[in-house]
Amino acid sequence: MPFSFIESYETARRLSSNPTGRPAGCLDLQQTRVYRAKNMALARVAPRSPGRALRRFYRRLYRHFGPQRWWPARTRFEVILGALLTQNTSWANVRRALANLRRARALAPQKLASVLARRLSRWLRPSGYYRQKTRAVRAFLRHLQRRHAGSLTRLLRRPADALRSELLSLRGIGEETADSILLYAAGRPVFVIDAYTRRILSRHGLMPETAPYADLQDFFHRQLPRDAALFNEYHALLVAAGKTYCHRQNPDCPRCPLGIELEPARAR
């Protein structure tokens, strides 16, 4: 019986709390209709093989956009600051805040830790929500000093799970930020999930947009080789597609390199 991956995902979730032995993916007709009515606003028939689809998406995006050379930073510390500052703002604003720090020669943990909160807050202002971000940066620096004697190397060489938990325990660091640090500063093979990734997967019928972060990440981890360089490039390419074509309103599918992956909606 043919079924889409997203249906098998939802069924697996349902069965995980009631393991009857029924194979994942065997949705009945009513469940399938409900899913399609709710989730298939734009297209399409979900790919039969999500792993192959993900690899194809990658090739199409890479051919179209080329290498993205992420993360746009000169040092691991800049990556971490960028990950903290990029929440709820554009990268252009983050760049302006980082430029302030660079001009002040404060782009190093020890130097930044000695700066007064008011001054730091002034430098971070262009990144928006600057008071919260000042607190987050200072909390990170305090933690680095107390727990790792100010050494980024000591922090970043911790085992991936321990490092992730440690980062998540800090003020202002959520899953996307922690994983950005793990992938782009520590070089660990963890896939970063952001709003663009959710939107693109959901519009192509691969995962629901509202799926928990861990499930979306697990989807990539299960379908692709655990390779930091691949995850680095793939996430950056999804961001490029999201920014350029996959807008929340009016996605530009005809010009998008993934447009060819959308099949015409079936008559329902």
Binding residues vs ligand SF4 (CB under 6 A): 42, 200, 203-204, 241, 245-246, 251-253, 256, 258-259, 262
Cβ of residue 7: shortest distance to ligand SF4, in angstroms? 19
- Residue linked to tokens 């930020």: 177
Specify the residue, 35 or 196, whose C-beta has the smaller distance to ligand SF4.
196
Cα 187–Cα 193–Cα 12 angle in degrees, nearest 5: 115
What tokens were used for 33? Answer: 């209709």
Q: Using the minimum distance from each CB to ligand SF4, give the nearer residue, 178 or 246.
A: 246
Q: What length does the chain have?
A: 268
Nearest residue (CB) to ligand SF4, 6 versus 258: 258
Specify the residue, 150 or 259, whose C-beta has the smaller distance to ligand SF4.
Answer: 259
Whole-angstrom distance, CA of residue 71 vs CA of residue 191: 14
Q: Which residues contact 128 (CB under 8 A, 6 or more apart)?
A: 88, 89, 93
Helices (H), 43-87: 50-65, 76-85
Residue 172 or 251 with smaller CB distance to ligand SF4: 251
Least distance from ligand SF4 to the Cβ atom of residue 203, Å: 4
Neighbours of 259 (CB within 10 A): 14
Shortest distance, position 5 Cβ to ligand SF4, whole Å: 16
Residues 6+ away with beta carbon under 8 Å from 209: 39, 198, 199, 201, 202
Query: Cβ 155 to ligand SF4, closest distance in Å?
Result: 35
Least separation in angstroms between CB 212 and ligand SF4: 22
Nearer to ligand SF4, 42 or 117 (CB): 42
CB of 242 to ligand SF4, least distance (A): 7
220 touches 232 (CB < 8 A): no
